[in-house]
Amino acid sequence: MVFLAISAGNVSAQQSKILKRSGEPLMQATAAPVHPPAQRGGGEGAGSTIFGNYCENCHGNPKVAEAPSPGTLRQMSPEKIYSALTEGDMKVIAQSLTDIQKRDIAEWVGGRKLGSSASGECKIDAIAQSWSVISGAADPHHAALAMNALEKHLIRHDDKIALLLTPPFDRSAHDPGYIKAYPPGIRENGGQYTHGAIWSVFAFAALGQGDQAGDLFALLNPIHHSSTPDAVACYRVEPYAACADVYSVAPHVGRGGWTWYTGSAGWLYRAGLEAILGFHVHGDTLAIDPCLPKAWPGYEIVFRHRATRDTVTRYEITVENPRRVSRGVVAAEPDSVKIAQGAAQIPLVDDGRTHRVRIELG
């Protein structure tokens, strides 16, 4: 079972490189921010950062060649430290980092456990798992393990909910923050917190896992919670508004919470448009790089580009998936002109005309 714990510190890009070069399990050294409801857990102090502990840990270690003092290390740039290390040093430092991570990620000040597979509550958190992928810090193997663990432990397909964390906070003697003020299974405390769950759509798509991204998007889509009279009676909120949260414990499993007071709707729209359909506008360039469920034969989208107030240029885009893959653009033809393979980069023009773009996956 692979868990990515929550950390009060951050893993630098150089630390990520160290772990990648050493072959150590990056899952134990990839951090994401603690979500706000849990931030009060460090009330007596936020604890030491991973890089600070790295400085202390490698100084005086005879296995690390000429390790400078902590004071000297803090004055050196991470790039200089990284470039001076040998492959042997990498192994030692990586082990130090993983040891530090296993201790510090799993402990708050005073040894209180949080966000660890050894914890009694909050063993796994969707935000930490997803951001190990979105941040680009985790190597592909460990990123996939992180999302496999998320899918196994946090997505409940039968109940159509995606938990933020599990198990919820309930009887812990320590205070993780106002999150514990909610009953177990409600809102952030082990319910579906939709804003956080949407990050997982982005993470699955980043891994090229179109089936998982599409399934989770469908599960989060409010209309799918109202397809039958029984579902309507269970969900109990508007089927046309993305809700902030869904309850996860009896007798209210599947009941929607706040609806209009949420940023979830905007992020759910972006997850569908950007993560799954792969539609991105960057200045005067349109990039198309879909990550689709394999069963999808394709899709069509119309984009009205307005570069000036008086001119609207229409782009009619057809994406074909004849080989039933999730990702991989093999052909891109704006106005029947072939361009390079890979993520399709379509120059946007401002001529008020209609342009047709064909994309083929394979």
Provide the whole-model pTM: 0.73
Helices and strands, counts by H and E, the chain: 11, 15
pLDDT, position 84? 53
Rg (CA), the chain: 23
Contacts of range 68-75, beta carbons closer than 8 Å, 24 or more positions apart: none
Q: How is the chain split into domains, by residue range?
A: 13-153, 181-271, 280-361
For residues 152 and 149, what is the distance between their CA atoms, to the nearest angstrom? 5
**Strand, coil or helix: 326:** coil
Given this model, what pLDDT does residue 48 score? 36
Contact 241, 176 (CB under 8 A): no
Domain 280-361 has CATH 2.60.420.10: yes
Peptide bond into 293 cis (omega under 30): no
Alpha-carbon torsion, ordered 123, 126, 131, 133, to 10 deg: 90
pLDDT of residue 75: 56
Q: What is the pLDDT along the chain (362 residues), one digit of tens a residue?
A: 233 333 323 334 444 444 444 443 333 323 333 344 444 444 443 433 333 443 444 455 544 444 445 455 445 554 555 555 555 555 544 444 444 333 333 344 455 556 667 778 888 889 888 988 888 877 788 888 889 999 999 999 999 999 999 999 998 777 777 888 899 999 999 999 999 999 999 999 999 999 999 999 999 999 999 999 999 999 999 999 999 999 999 999 999 999 887 789 999 999 999 999 999 999 999 999 999 999 999 999 999 998 777 889 999 999 999 999 999 999 999 999 888 667 789 999 999 999 999 999 99
